[in-house]
Structure 1
Amino acid sequence: MSQTHSGRDPDGAADRDLEALLRAAGPRPQPPDGLAAQVRAAVEAEWRASVPVRKAATARPRREARPATPWLMAASVAAVATGVWFFAPRLAQGPVAVATVARVAGSVEYRSGEQGAWAPLPVAATLQSGDEIRTSRAGQVAVRRADGLEIRLDSGTTLAFDDGETATLAAGRAYVDSGAQPAATDDFTLATPLGRVRHLGTQYLAAVAPGELQVAVREGSVAVEGRGASVVARAGESLVVEPDGKVTRGQVASHGAAWSWAQAIAPEFAIDGRTLDEFLLWAARETGRQLVYASPEAARLAETTQLRGSVSGLTPEAAVAGVLATTPALQHRVAGAQLRIEPAVD
């Protein structure tokens, strides 16, 4: 009897997609204390100054204009206040911290704003809204937001953080992972020249290629908003969006060469003090596979085995081989979309 760990549950996927889209919209933000009153007073003063002085009546009598009712004026003031508040954050808010650099490989540079000077991007650096990253032909980088959402960039990629919830992918490939518990992560939208990609709890890859946007979903689902209607892609699906809005759907495996670059730049999993089961769950998810224990005894051993040391510098697949080499009672086997853990054979 085998035991399977799996985060994929296709039942009710459409309902969850709709629920996630509605939840992503969120309530309208409220203005800070005092801002609405200030706007109301300013609009009222402007309205009073713009009311023309009535001229004397001519030979032909005219009906006297009725004064504006208080509720109508209040509605006008409220509408203008809402508009001012919509733009106020963009005008008043300065740079905010959006992510921390988790791992760098090769040459990666960043700059603050379009006029800033490019400089090497170090590990553990804090990125702010307005910062832009570019990777060289041999460079890769992984950054992590405070809520756990990760963004990984392949070589030859340029990405700018517009704010804490939006980044613009101008060229290259980006991998977004909202985490094993996506409900804990806030909204994130990846803007591209051919559409906006919004995660609904997922692992996905987006690539800006000449004349098209390519999206592949490994886990969960994404909404892609282009020139046409918004389309949803689920785990195992790929999309190609063309400049005229045409969308072509395809299929993609959750493991294999398409994801290898994202696995290579995965932030290190700190194994020291963690259980073998926790590590294997991470490794299985990083490689797009299901963790399957061949027997209850194998599962029990993994859940009770405490790890020590480090897997720094190893890919997830190499880390699994290295860790299990120190656990003589268990062995692993990759079988298609499964990472199987079995009792070791004497």
Structure 2
Amino acid sequence: MFKGIDYYDIENDLPRATRQLRDTIRSFVDREVLPVIREHYRVGTFPRQLVPRLAELGAFTAGLTGGDRPPLDSVTYGLLMQELERGDSALRSFASVQGALVMYPIRAFGSKAQQERWLPLLASGRAIGCFGLTEPGGGSDPAAMSTWAEKQGDGYRLQGYKMWITNGTIADVALIWAKLDGAVRGFLVERGTPGFTASEITGKLSHRASDTGSLVLDNVTVPAGSILPKAGGLKNALACLDQARYGIAWGALGAAQACFDEVLAFTGQRQTFGRPLAARQLVQAKLADMLTEITKGQLLALQLARLREAGRLRPEQVCLAKRNNVRMALEVARTAREMLGANGISDGYQSMRHLCNLESVDTYEGTYEVHTLAIGRDLTGISAFS
């Protein structure tokens, strides 16, 4: 089983229960994810057979905040996301969407009836959800969305188009964000609703094992009980993204560790000119640099978890962690691919798959540049967005 990368002995100070759960998820990834993920990546399919196991492991409920205290503390949740992404970004993305982007808003902003109906189904994996915010003309600027809703009789009429939606074609319920009387509101739209269609986005060179779809709402009518009553603006949609970004900051560490572990083993075994690659100074320098950046990312994520537990976490701090850790993991994956030589472009190794996936992770939930400007605004008090 994968032993992890923990150069500063961080995990030794964690509670035994946390380490035990981490090991359970780690074993699940080794035994059930890694043997099948390469083929799913090749053909571009999501491994739906793993959804019940993810539910059993608590992957959808672990990081929920709002209302009662979350069943798992922030570090344990982070380690869970780390191990899932060590398998593949598709697994962590699925769990992030299901828990942070669908269950969290229903729990935080939904009615009692919505909570009673959907949360048990989503937590058990008997229902799948997706989060419809991004549009073809508005990713980094969600306020520019064109999807709209209007009151119609006892319900609402929705019109619009959503793009790059994880779980889009397999979702039983979509949380659609639309403008209603000038304010952004959330609506639960069920699969099969007349006028609501989901289509798979094909031709992806990244996140191939993740279901990604486009959603069309053509004169869709939903009942009054479909609107999230406590979600009254774009800030609520962005609060959901903060939940997901927290998991991404940890998840990226898993991808980086997978690449580092792979190249460390490879350079120790591969012989050139009568000596292992690991004996070369340039190779050792690259390994040391990779390890240093992973360790810095781990310490950053750990402090982020402490702030979250203390209720002192600010959105800009999440931006910094997502920005740093994903870009760090991307650079580690690129370096690992390079050090593997020609082997690095083969899917017999993991690094190229993680590298391709991380190109998407670097973009979604806020690009590196958008997070840079969010931090800059926080530092200076001046917005560079407009």
Which structure has the larger Rg?
Answer: 1
- Pairwise same-fold verdict (TM > 0.5): no
The one of the two structures with greater contact order (alpha-carbon pairs below 8 A, sep at least 6) is: 2
Structure with greater proportional strand content: 1
TM, length-normalised to structure 2: 0.26
**If each structure's helix is expressed as a fraction of its own residues, which one has the higher value?**
2
The alignment's TM-score, normalised by the length of structure 1, stands at 0.29
